[in-house]
Structure formats: structure tokens, C-alpha cells
Structure 1
């Protein structure tokens, strides 16, 4: 009996001492957490996509609270409305940010980029990219296995069965960047939507020389540099045989689109261009009508004196009388 009592007392003493030690440690090494972090996290969409550049929504909330400013911070899923809620909690100003969207920079459709081999492995872009160059002659283009589709949490990207390329639904895309990270060939770029949701993009990432790129895909960029020369805003650079349009400098004049001999530059969401022949025809018709009367009026003046040979017939009559 005494042995049991001693054991109980010993265990109770050990538990009491341990509790005191833990309590003291918790007070000494306590980490203060601003309660606003939890409040900010509650208004975030909790998608944990990482599109904001932080590890999940909790990491983004902590960064917003600690920074003291929301400049340069954006939740791509919640957008500006969510950032306004965050600003209201923190008593800060929500700076307006330019909306962005995912852009698939490849135009290697089945028609433009014929298949030369058949892939029978696991349908994964990462595995296909690591094991071989792809089913076409282009080792830079889209593999079409759909890793980007699996990575998207918002059902905003799908593979078009006719072209074999992924297509982005701009109404659903949040520009979280998950599809861009999943693409092993860095084809998908997160770009600003642009004014009126219009933008000009080089739809190619092929860095091979012109002849090689042209052989692999009929719509590839061949690095001719014509777009660079024609751009009045110096928005296009040519590096490693590939042209790139800087969205911050581009003014959407579309001169590069018309200059590109391969059709590799696309103007997205722009209205269709008017045919070149229509405008000149209407413009030239007016001046021609006004010039014609002037031209006909000039020759009419000299025609009167030209009629002088008629009096020469008068002396012929007296000759006949003689």
C-alpha cells in the first residue's frame, strides 16, 4: 500500500513539475501573433494557389499585416474586391492593380506542326519532356498532355481536341500561375490583360534558328527581326532567335502583326481589320472625280484654235470658179 502511495505521489510531483516548466517555457518563448492576421485570412478565398507569391493564404495574410502597405500585393483569385476588404481591416489603401491572365504562347496546332512520332507513355507533360522531345519536330512547343489542365483549380483551361493545344477561359482564369508552373516548357505566361482586354503576343517560344524552326512549325517565329524594326515604341526585343513583346511598352498599334511573315504575332480580342483595298478605293474615288473636269477643261481651250484649218477651205472655192 505504501508502495502504491509513493508511486502516485511521485507521478503527481513529476506532472506538476513538468507543467510548471512547460508554462514557464510557453511564456518565455511565446511568439506574438497579430490578431489581424486571422482576420485577413478569413476574407481571403483560401485557394492556397500561391499566385500571390506567398505560401498559401495564411502566408499572404501575414505578409500584408507585417508590410504595413499593400503596394505590390494582390490576391489573384479574389482580385481587387478582396484586396479592398483586406485594406479595410488593416486601415490601409488598396492600390489598384492591373488584371492579368494566362496566355498559351504556342500556335503549333495539328495543321501547323505535323506529328512525326507517337508517344505511348504516361500522359504527362513533365514525363514526356524529360524522356524525349515530343511528337513533333519542335522541341519547344506544347506537348498537349494536359498537366496545366490538372493544375488549374478553377476549370479555366482545357485542351482543344482539334488543335491539340490548351485554351484559356479568360472569364474563369484568376492568373494564379498554377498552369504556368506546371508547364515544363514554360509556354504559359501570366501577362497583363491589357487595355479593353486586348494584347499583342508572340505566340511562339521556339529558339531554334529560322530554317529549323520553320521546318518544325509553319507558324513559328524565325527571328527575322522585322517586327523589331517596325515597332515605334521599342517594345519588341529579339533574343536567341525569338521575338518577345514587352506588355509594359506595347501600345497595341499592331504594326508588328502585319509585318510578321509567319503570322507568329497575334492580336488577341481585337476587332477584325478592315481590308486595305476598301479604304483607298473610297479615298481615291473623290479626287479622281474632281480631277477629271479639270483635265477635260484644259484640252477644250486649245481645241478652238485648232479649228483654224476650216478657213483654208474658203480659197478652194475661188479656184473651182476659175
Structure 2
């Protein structure tokens, strides 16, 4: 037998032995994956937005399959229809998710909070916030460079050229929370949509005391507590010179709105208030 043939046979034998070893190892260390994960992933929207709290739809599908109870788990993009489909696949019960929407808690427009400096650096809110307080006198307000808009995958936001603030397109918002995470000033919040999409919230996050806050922005919350005192539902909390309305407790009575001296409390999608009609006093005829 020639040297070449011996070499070929030896290599073939070694290859066969190695293949058998690898096959045995793969069987021994094989990781079982529940086939339902693929089924669940197929009904998810495949946006990988992270709104469920996990890095993507695949990770969410795995978590759903492993969970004993999925009633508290929700896909904000797919909504109730998607979660009901998932529940059907897994034989579990889906919870009733509360519809949420993003709101911008800053009204410091160019008119209300004029610029005091002119920033010339990298045009991102993250960089501006890392360097200094911003171009206006309010260190808590929107930087206006649109990191939130860039983060949104659903065309649910845009920057208003007139005000310099982000605007939420409600019908496009899926409450994924990407804009919330992208804002370095924490001015964007997910709140309950409310009946007929009606919401009331304090559009300010300035924690300065009244006078400095009002000086920096004409429509800032000054911590006067007037709204807190008139709320009949204990829905308003005063903390760090700032009022906050708890959307779980708020009954949308609107009693707080006219009390705010700076108009920092916003009411969305309400009909205009009815004008108060003064009762006419009956005419009295002089006694003869």
C-alpha cells in the first residue's frame, strides 16, 4: 500500500471518529427549544421595539412560553388582539391591558422659555444634557433636538418648528416607550389614554422653587399647591416644588385646571367648557 493511500485512509478514519464524537456530543448537550416559541413569535408584530421590556420579539416569545401566568405581560404594538392570539397558542389567559400613550411634560416653547445661550455642538439632546443645562434658563426643559423623534419607529412624533417641542401623533403612538428612554430630561411619560382619549397632566418637570421656575419659563409649575387643595380625589401629589397628577386616581373632573396660575396643567381632547349663565333676578316693582 502506497504512502498516499495510507494517508488517505488514516485521514478518513480520523474524520469518521471525529464525526462520531461530535454527533455524540451534540446529542448529549442538545438544548431543547419549545416549538411554541416559533408559533408565538409568528403572531408578534416583529417590530423589536422593546416596549414589552425585553430586547425583541423573540425574547418576548420565549418569556411568554416560559411564564405560568401571562396576564400581566403585554405587547404594546400588537395590543389585545395579539395577546389573545398568544393566549390561544399557549392555552393561557391574557390580561386586559390599559391603553397608554406618550405625553410631553414640557411647555417651554420659544415663546415661554426664550433662549439664553446658543449651542453650536453635536445636535443631539444626549450630548447637550451631558454638557450643560440647555439653551434656556430652565435646566429641566426640552433640549429640542429630537432624540425622541429619532427613536420612534412608528412615525408618532415630530418636532414643531414654531414651538421647538416634540408633538405626539396620538393615532400612531403604540406606547412602546422608546421616546421615554431616549429623552435625557425625562419629560416624556406614558400615561393612560383615558376615556375618549381625554387626559389631564402637569406639563412641567421643573423642580426649582416658584420664583426661579417662573423666571425661566412663563408656564412652569411654581409649586403653589392650589391644584392640590381643590382635587377631591387625592390625585395630585406635591413633591420637589412640583405638582404631579396620578392618572390612576384622576377622575378627569378638571377642577384643578382653572386653579393653576401659570396654565401648567394641560387638558387634552375635552370639549370647551360651557359658559356660565347668570341667573336674572326678577324685577321688583316699587310698592305704591
Q: Where do residues 155-234 of structure 1 align in structure 2 (5 Å cutoff)? A: 155-234=155-234
Any gaps of 5 or more consecutive residues in structure 2? none
Give me the whole-angstrom Cα distance separating, in 2, the residues matched to 1:194 and 1:151: 25
Please say if 1:101 is aligned against 2:137: no
- Structure 2 Cα separation of the partners of residues 213 and 177 of structure 1: 28
Q: How does 1:28-177 map to 2 (within 5 A)?
A: 28-177=28-177
* Higher CA-based Rg: 1
Deviations 1:171-203 (A, max 9, x none): 001111111111111111111111221111100
Gaps in structure 1 of 5+ consecutive residues:
304-322
Residue 236 of structure 2: aligned partner: 236
Q: Between Structure 1 and Structure 2, which shows a larger proportion of helix residues? A: 1
Q: CA deviation at 1:13?
A: 2.4
Q: TM-score, normalised by structure 1?
A: 0.86
> Which is worse superposed, 193-202 or 5-14?
5-14
Distance 1:196 1:213 in 2: 33
- Per the alignment, in what secondary structure is the counterpart of residue 65 of structure 1? helix
Distance in 2 of aligned mates of 1:242 and 1:9: 83
Give the distance between the partners of 2:19 and 2:192, measured in 1 at CA: 56
Aligned residue for 1:255, secondary structure, equals: coil
- Which 4+ runs in 1 deviate beyond 6 A? none
Structure 2 equivalent of residue 262 of structure 1: 262
Equivalent-residue separation in structure 1 for 2:10 and 2:105 (angstroms): 72
Aligned to 1:308: none
Q: How many residues align?
A: 288
* 1:97-153 alpha-carbon deviations (Å, 9 max, x no partner): 111111111000111001111111111000111112111000110001011111111
Q: Distance in 2 between matches of 1:9 and 1:162?
A: 80
Report Cα offsets for 1:50-80 as digits up to 9, x if no partner: 0001120011111111113221111111111
**Alpha-carbon shift at residue 226 of structure 1 (Å):** 1.3
